[in-house]
Structure 1
C-alpha cells in the first residue's frame, strides 16, 4: 500500500521508464496532410539546388497568382501605416467599411442584397471553414462533397470530429454533384459543400443547378456551404452565380486570395444566414479575435482596382488557352472542362497510374512542379494531375514543350 499522499505501485509503473506519463495526442492530429504543401517544399529545394544558368522551375503546383496585391491595395496599406494608425484589433467580424464594401460587391456583381451584418471578415477562406463547420454542425455529423475536392474541406472536418461523405464524380457529371446523387444519400447528411468553379477541376454549376441543389438542401434539412473563392475567374462557358441569390440558409465562403491576388494577406469572408451570425461571431472572437487590420484596409482598396485585376485575368486566360492547345499535342489530352478558376485537371491514366511518381519525375526531369491528384481524390487520384496556370505567363507558355520532351514526343 502506498503511504498517505504517495504514489501507488500502479502509478509508479505508469511513470517508468522515462519517469513521465505518456502524453495524449489529440484526434485532430490525425488530419491528413495537404500534399501540395509538400510539393511546394520539394520545388523550393529543387530550385535552390539548380546551378547558375540552369532553366528554372515552372511553378504549376499551387493556386497562387504570380502577381501580388493590386497596387491600390498596397498603397492603401502604406498610407495607413505611415499615418501612424495603431492597426489594432478590429471588431471580430472586421472593419465596418470593408463589410459594407463587400455587401456592395454582391449588389453590383449579382444583383443580390446582402446586409453588412451578415458578413464576417475572416483570416482567409482557410479561417472561414472552421467557423462555418463548428457553427453549422456537430461532431459525428456527415458533410457531403463531390470528389475530387479541395483537400482541407475533408481534413478540417476530420480534425473537428466530423465525417466527410464523398460523392465520387467524373467527367460524366463534369466533376460536380447532381440531384440524383443527393437523392441516393440515405440517411441525409447534415451538410453539403459545393464549389463553383471548383478546385481542382475548374468546372462550374449552372445557375439553375445551384438553385436546384439549394432547394433540395432546404427541403431536406441539409446545410449548404457554397465555396465561391474563384468567382471572378470564369471563362464565359457557364454563368457565374452565388448561392446567396437562391438560399437564405446557405453559408457562402469567399476570399481575396484568388481574383484579388492577395494570398499572403490572409483575408476572406463569410456570408452567413441569420441564425448563424451570432454563433459564428462568438467563435471568431475566441478563435481569431479578428483578421489582420492592415490586410483589411488593403482588401477594401483592392475591390476598386478593377482595371489591374482584369488585366491579371487576361493573363490567366491566355495561359489557359496556350495550355489547352499545347498539352494535348505534348501527350496530355484528357483534361476536364476548365470553366473557371486557374487549374487543369488532367487524366494521365494512359501515361501512369502513379501520379505521385509521375509528378516527382516531372519535377526532377522537366523542372515542372505539379500536384498529384491524390491530394484531391484519395480513391482515384493516382491517375490524375493538377496543373495551375496562374503563374508567370512566359513560364506557362514554356510548359507544353517541356512536357513533350519529358514524354519523348
Structure 2
C-alpha cells in the first residue's frame, strides 16, 4: 500500500540550504570551503553578552515562558524602537517568535485565508512564497528590476490585473540588499491601508546599511505586521529568536496560534536577546567589517568580468549578473564550489526565471574569507570568459 504524502509538503527546496549541505560534505572530505552562500554572520555574541547570560541563567530554570514571550524582552524591544526609530510601540503588540521563520508562519496564518493572493517582489526571499504555498495561499510574484531598485512601488501595484489581499516588502531586501526610501515606504503603507491590503514588512536586516538607515513601518501606521529577528544584526542565527510587531486585532490570534504550534520561544534565547539589546554598541564593529567586505567584492569582481549588480544598500549580500557566462546558475554555482571551493547561491533560489543568470554572494564572513574568495574566483572566471558559455 502506498500511503499519501500531503501536497503542502511538496514545495521547492530552499536551495541555499542544499548548497550549504554540499559545502559541508566537501569540508567533511577534507577540502577547503570559503562560505559565501549563507547569510550567517561569522561572529557570535560578544564576550560581555555571553558572560552576563552565563550569570543570569544560574538563577533561572529556563522553563516554558508565556507564548508571546518574556515581558522583559517585549519591553526591551519597545524601548529599542523608541531609541532607534523614535516610535512608541505598546509592548502588548510585540510577540516573540522562534526565529523570524516562525514569525512568518504565525503572521501568514493569522492574516490570510487559504486562497488569498499575497504579492511579493521577484527576486525575493524564497521562503515567503514557499510558506504561503504550503498554507494554501497564492503567492503573486511581482517582477522588479533596476527601474524600481528591485522593490515594489505603488505604481507597480496599480499595474496588477487582480487585487491583492497581502503584500510582503523587505528593506533591506534579500538577495538584492536594496533599501526602500522612506517616502516610497510610506506611500506603500498608505496605499495598502486604503486598499485593504495587509502589509507584511520584513525588517530582519535593519541596522545593516551602508548609507541612510532603513526606516521601520512601525512609526508609519498600526496596520502593517513587522517581522524582525536577532539572527542578522545581533549575530544569533542558531538561537532561533525573532519577533513580530502586530496590529492590535492580530495579537490574540497570533497568541493562540503560537500556544498550539510552538508553546513558547526558547527561554535561554529570550534571556540572551534582552542582554543583546542592552549591548547594541558591541555589534557596530560588525557593520564596519561588512562594509569592508562589500567594498572588496565591488572592487574585485568587476576586474574578473562581473560588472552588473543590484544596489547593495544594506544587508550583506551582493546579487550579481553572470548571464554572460551561464544560463543555469544552479549548475554554475555547483561548478564554482567543486572547482574553486567557494560556496555561493544560485539566483534560481530567489527568482524562478531571470535567476538562472544571477548569483548571490554573502559577505558577512571574515574579511580574509571574502578577499581569498575574490583571489580564487578571478582566474576561474577569466577562464570561463575566454572559453565562452559552452558547458555552463
> CA separation in 1, counterparts of 2:169 and 2:52?
34
Q: Structure 1 CA distance, aligned partners of 2:282 and 2:218?
A: 27
Assess if the C-alpha contact under 8 Å between 1:198 and 1:341 holds in 2: yes
Q: Distance in 1 between matches of 2:46 and 2:141?
A: 37
CA distance in 1, matches of 2:229, 2:241: 6
Give yes or no for contact 1:362–1:369 (8 Å, CA) kept in 2.
Answer: yes
Cα pair 2:233 2:283 within 8 Å, conserved? yes
2:133 and 2:348 map into 1 onto residues whose CA distance is: 17
Counterpart pick for 2:33 among 54, 57, 80: 57
Matched, 1:78 2:58: no
Structure 1: tracts of 5 or more residues without a match: 1-19
Q: Deviations over 1:242-295 (max 9, x none)?
A: 111112100000000000000000000000001101111110111111100011
Aligned residues of 1:70 and 1:260 also touching (Cα < 8 A): no
1:108 aligns with 2:83: yes
Question: Partners of 2:129 and 2:123 in 1: how far apart?
Answer: 11
TM-score normalised per structure 2: 0.96
Is 2:213 aligned against 1:210?
no
**Aligned counterpart in structure 2 of residue 252 of structure 1, from 209, 216, 226:** 226
Instruction: Report the counterpart of residue 3 of structure 1 in structure 2.
Output: none
Alignment gaps of 5+ in structure 2 = 384-392
- Structure 1 runs of 4+ aligned residues shifted over 4 Å read none
Q: Is the 1:72–1:301 Cα contact (8 Å) retained in structure 2?
A: no
Residues 225 and 251 in structure 1, CA contact (< 8 A), matched pair in contact too: yes
Alignment equivalent of 1:168, drawn from 143, 148, 154: 143
- Counterpart Cα distance in 1 of 2:144 and 2:193: 23
Equivalent-residue separation in structure 2 for 1:279 and 1:205 (angstroms): 30
Greater mean deviation of Cα atoms: 352-361 or 131-140: 352-361
Cα contact 2:293–2:370 (8 A) shared by 1: yes
How far, CA to CA, are the matches of 1:186 and 1:57 in structure 2?
46
**Is the CA contact (8 Å cut-off) linking 2:124 and 2:350 kept in structure 1?**
yes
* Alignment equivalent of 2:24, drawn from 32, 44, 56: 44
CA-atom RMSD in angstroms: 1.1
Q: CA deviation at 1:50?
A: 2.9
Structure 2 matches for 1:3-402, cutoff 5 A?
20=1, 22-50=2-30, 56-83=32-59, 85-236=60-211, 238-402=212-376
Alpha-carbon distance in 1 for matches of 2:141, 2:49: 39
Q: Distance in 2 between matches of 1:253 and 1:216?
A: 20
Contact kept in structure 1, 2:122 and 2:144, CA below 8 Å: yes
